Amino acid sequence: MTAEPFITAPALDAYLSSLLPPRDSVLAEMEKEAERRNIPIVGPVVAAFLSQLATMTGAKRIFELGSAIGYSTLWWARAAGETGEVFYTERDPALSREAALYFDRAGVAGRIRLMPGDAIAAFQSTPGDFDLIFCDLDKPRYPEALRLAAPRLRPGGLFIADNVLWKGKVAGPDSDPQTAAMREITRQAYALPGFSVSVLPLRDGILLARKGR
């Protein structure tokens, strides 16, 4: 929740936010801290949508590539339920410590595996397949994340990436590394054999790729 422009117009985003049930004290505090310190989080509208996707697909084993203060991680953990296992990754030790406190206060610490350090390295060192993989790390690394993640999704599993419309820059002439990476991951996703792919123009663009059964 930053001051940066997104695809969804601010007034429309505010309207959508107003329709949501009030968040509990932990999530509300995280939203305020993210806004105050300009920490990138998905925000409540996208988080509620992602949580619904996880619930609908019965996702229990979830890997998050890039977690910051753990706002979306907390939503994933609640959606996964008491038997869920959610992997949190963040290279900033201070943010990792802050996230751990939030998880403890929210009562979901037992379902979250804290993996401080490089997100992709953590993913590669974690064995097994996943029901859902969420990508929200440094933008130039998105294509690499998809290449590594696609083979490790279970049949019917989801790969989801945030910010893929990148403030609308993907439709323009910009060729900076972040914009180029958003175009590339989207191209790669649509070329994946056996995957069904959609891009939703919500907030800053959500890529949703489902692996066939």
**Residue 164 within a domain:** yes
**Residue 44 within a domain:** yes
Tell me the pLDDT tens digit for each residue of 189-202: 999 999 999 999 99
Provide the domain count of the chain: 1
**Residue 4 within a domain:** no
Tell me the pLDDT tens digit for each residue of 138-195: 999 999 999 999 999 999 999 999 999 999 999 999 889 999 999 999 999 999 999 9
**Residue 23 within a domain:** yes
Q: How far is CA 158 from the centre of its chain?
A: 11
**Residue 54 within a domain:** yes
Task: Calculate the alpha carbon distances from 160 to 14, 134, 206 in Å.
Answer: 23, 5, 7
158 bridge partner residues = 132, 210
In contact, 204 and 148? CB cutoff 8 Å:
no
pLDDT at 6: 87
Tell me the pLDDT tens digit for each residue of 15-68: 999 999 999 999 999 999 999 999 999 999 999 999 999 999 999 999 999 999
Res. 4 pLDDT band, cuts 50 70 90: low
**Residue 116 within a domain:** yes
**Residue 47 within a domain:** yes
Instruction: Check which CATH number belongs to the domain holding 91 and give it.
Output: 3.40.50.150
Which residue, among 124, 34, 36, has the nearest Cα to 73 in the 3D structure? 34
Q: What residues make up the domain containing 104?
A: 10-211
Collapsing DSSP to helix, strand or coil, 89 comes out as strand
pLDDT at 103: 98
Q: Exposed, middle or buried: residue 33 (CB in 10 Å: 0-12, 13-18, 19+)?
A: middle
pTM of the predicted model as reported, rounded to 2 decimal places: 0.95
**Residue 5 within a domain:** no
